[in-house]
Amino acid sequence: KVFLSFAAVVAVAVAVPANYEPIHVGPALVDTYEPIHVGPALVDVDNYEPISVGPAIVDTPSAQSTPLVQIILNINQATTASAVEAPVYNPQPAEIVEKPVAPTPVIVASPIIPAPVVTLPEILN
**What's the N-to-C CA distance of the chain in angstroms?**
87
Residues of the chain below pLDDT 70: 17, 61-64, 67, 76-84, 125
Residues 32, 43: Cα–Cα separation, whole Å? 25
13 backbone φψ class: left, alpha, beta (φ>0; ψ -120 to 50): alpha
**What pLDDT, on the 0 to 100 scale, is given for residue 85?**
74
**Dihedral sign, CA of 23, 27, 29, 32?**
positive
Residues 101, 103: Cα–Cα separation, whole Å? 6
Mean pLDDT score across all residues of the chain: 78
Q: Note the pTM of the prediction, 2 decimals.
A: 0.17
